[in-house]
């Protein structure tokens, strides 16, 4: 539908369908016409690509994705939006809507069935209440996906994309960098949404790695160690990891030394290679 992201059109559609926003579902819809084309273009919505969208709202981004990509499969949890989407996306023959919680959808099977012969990318203006679980699910499943391009709250974007070894880094930063190369693309002000949230947003893109960093002997133990390391922020790695893993501090200190790190090191100072060396040393001793 033309002009779909104009605020007047959106208000008219919503009132026609008697739609009221659900705060619990993170429903802040985009009403700035310049944002969706940029997400679509920088998110690989182009010929040869199938796109998975998470959370359609009334379909403003879906519409831009469908204009550019070969096919779009969009997953939306709110059944009240189904009649709205039937109207707003009626001109597109390459869109399929799945009315479900994205966390319940088998995305590997979806990709196999819906996108044979196509490259795949994910694009979304994510519901903020579930941003990290969705991103981690997309990365950890090692799906055959080239990029994940999503709008998230600015603060979350800074943590997700922080370089390791800097103050903003956390357990999620290590996990994101293990599976992908993250990039901050552009900021979106709170006034671009209806209703307007209390914070600004940012579009980020994760380019998935073909191979994860070498040297991890046990992935589950590696991530358990990373989570423990950051479990008490601003404490030393020795204190935080010992309490997070329930191990004697002397054992953790030995692993820190054998990874070639100083005793007083803090978790946010470690590089990926140093986290890997520390986790392996901890497991060995
Ligand atoms: N893409 C639209 C836009 O930009 O205007 C809507 C974005 S809004 C921030 C998030 C959307 O995700 C809402 O439509 C909401 O109903 C949907 N949603 C929330 N939780 C979801 C879930 N677990 N699975 C699928 N969709 C979900």
Decide which of 3.40.1260.10, 3.40.50.720, 3.90.380.10, 3.40.50.150 is the CATH code for 7-208.
3.40.50.150
259 alpha carbon to ligand 1 midpoint, in Å?
Answer: 43
The CATH H-level (homologous superfamily) assignment of domain 219-284 is rRNA adenine dimethylase, C-terminal domain (1.10.8.100)
Per residue in 21-30, pLDDT tens?
Answer: 999 999 999 9
User: What is the rounded CA–CA span in Å between residue 146 and residue 77?
Assistant: 24
pLDDT at 139: 95
Nearest-CA neighbor of 20 among 61, 79, 98, 80? 80
pLDDT at 168: 92
30 alpha carbon to ligand 1 midpoint, in Å?
Answer: 11
Q: Name the 3-class secondary structure at 101.
A: coil
Which residue of 9, 11, 20, 55 sits with most ligand 1 atoms within 8 Å of its CB, as the best mutation to test the pocket? 55
230 alpha carbon to ligand 1 midpoint, in Å?
Answer: 30
User: What is the rounded CA–CA span in Å between residue 68 and residue 123?
Assistant: 13
- CA separation, residue 60 to residues 88, 172, 209, 241 (Å): 8, 29, 29, 45
For the cut 90, the answer to whether the pLDDT of residue 88 exceeds it is yes
DSSP 71-99: EEEEEE--GGGHHHHHHHTTT-SSEEEEE
Looking at per-residue pLDDT, the higher value among 114 and 4 belongs to: 114
Which residue of 25, 60, 95, 195 sits with most ligand 1 atoms within 8 Å of its CB, as the best mutation to test the pocket? 25
75 alpha carbon to ligand 1 midpoint, in Å?
Answer: 8
223 alpha carbon to ligand 1 midpoint, in Å?
Answer: 29
107 within 8 A of 141, measured Cβ to Cβ: yes
Quick one: which atom of ligand 1 is closest to the CA of 25? 19
Exposure of 225 in the CB half-sphere (CA atoms within 13 A) = 24
Q: Average pLDDT of 64-80?
A: 98
Quick one: which atom of ligand 1 is closest to the CA of 62? 1
Nearest-CA neighbor of 86 among 7, 6, 16? 16
pLDDT at 96: 98
* 272-284 and 171-179 helices, crossing angle to 10°: 100
Quick one: which atom of ligand 1 is closest to the CA of 53? 1
Residue nearest ligand 1's atom 8 by CA = 27
User: How would you class 272 by CB atoms within 10 Å of its CB: exposed for 0-12, middle for 13-18, buried for 19 or more?
Assistant: middle
Residues of the chain within CATH 1.10.8.100 domain(s) are 219-284
User: What is the rounded CA–CA span in Å between residue 53 and residue 57?
Assistant: 11
User: What is the rounded CA–CA span in Å between residue 282 and residue 251?
Assistant: 8
pTM (predicted TM-score): 0.94
Which residues sit with their C-beta closer than 6 Å to ligand 1?
25-30, 54-57, 60-61, 75-78, 101-103, 125, 127, 130
DSSP 165-188: TSTT--HHHHHHHHHEEEEEEEEE
29 alpha carbon to ligand 1 midpoint, in Å?
Answer: 8
Phi-psi region at 44: left, alpha or beta (left = phi > 0; alpha = psi -120 to 50): left
Per residue in 166-178, pLDDT tens?
Answer: 999 999 999 999 9
Per residue in 21-59, pLDDT tens?
Answer: 999 999 999 999 999 999 999 999 999 999 999 999 999
Per residue in 151-209, pLDDT tens?
Answer: 999 999 999 999 999 999 999 999 999 999 999 999 999 999 999 999 999 999 999 99
Alpha-carbon Rg for the chain in angstroms: 21
- CA separation, residue 265 to residues 165, 166, 167, 275, 278 (Å): 11, 13, 13, 12, 12
Report the DSSP pairing between strands 95-99 and 29-30.
Answer: unpaired
Q: Helices H, strands E: what count in the chain?
A: 12, 9
220 alpha carbon to ligand 1 midpoint, in Å?
Answer: 30
38 alpha carbon to ligand 1 midpoint, in Å?
Answer: 18
218 within 8 A of 173, measured Cβ to Cβ: no
Which residue of 40, 58, 77, 102 sits with most ligand 1 atoms within 8 Å of its CB, as the best mutation to test the pocket? 77
User: What is the rounded CA–CA span in Å between residue 258 and residue 261?
Assistant: 7
Residues of the chain within CATH 3.40.50.150 domain(s) are 7-208
């Amino acid at each position: 539908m033309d002009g779909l992201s104009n605020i007047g059109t959106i208000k008219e559609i919503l009132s026609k369908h008697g739609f009221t926003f659900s705060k619990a579902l993170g429903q802040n819809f985009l009403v700035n016409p310049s944002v969706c084309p940029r997400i679509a273009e920088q998110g690989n919505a182009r010929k040869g690509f199938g796109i998975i969208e998470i959370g359609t709202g009334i379909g403003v981004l879906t519409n831009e994705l469908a204009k550019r990509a070969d096919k779009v499969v969009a997953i939306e949890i709110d059944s009240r939006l189904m009649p709205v989407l039937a109207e707003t996306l009626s001109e597109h023959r390459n869109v399929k809507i799945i009315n479900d919680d994205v966390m319940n959808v088998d995305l590997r099977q979806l990709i196999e069935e819906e996108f044979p012969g196509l490259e795949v990318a994910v694009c979304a203006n994510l519901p903020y209440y579930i941003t990290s679980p969705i991103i981690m699910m997309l990365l950890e499943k090692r799906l055959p996906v080239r990029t994940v391009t999503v709008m998230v709250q600015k603060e979350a974007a800074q943590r997700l994309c922080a370089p390791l070894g800097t103050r903003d880094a956390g357990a999620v930063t290590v996990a994101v960098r293990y599976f992908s190369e993250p990039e901050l693309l552009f900021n979106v002000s709170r006034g671009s949404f209806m209703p307007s949230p209390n914070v600004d947003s940012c579009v980020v893109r994760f380019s998935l790695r073909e191979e994860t960093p070498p040297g991890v002997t046990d992935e589950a133990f590696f991530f358990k160690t990373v989570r423990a390391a950051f479990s008490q922020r601003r404490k030393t790695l020795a204190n935080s990891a010992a309490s997070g893993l329930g191990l004697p501090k002397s054992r953790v200190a030995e692993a820190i030394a054998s990874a070639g790190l100083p005793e007083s090191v803090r978790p946010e100072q470690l590089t990926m290679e140093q986290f890997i060396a520390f986790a392996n040393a901890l497991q060995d001793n």
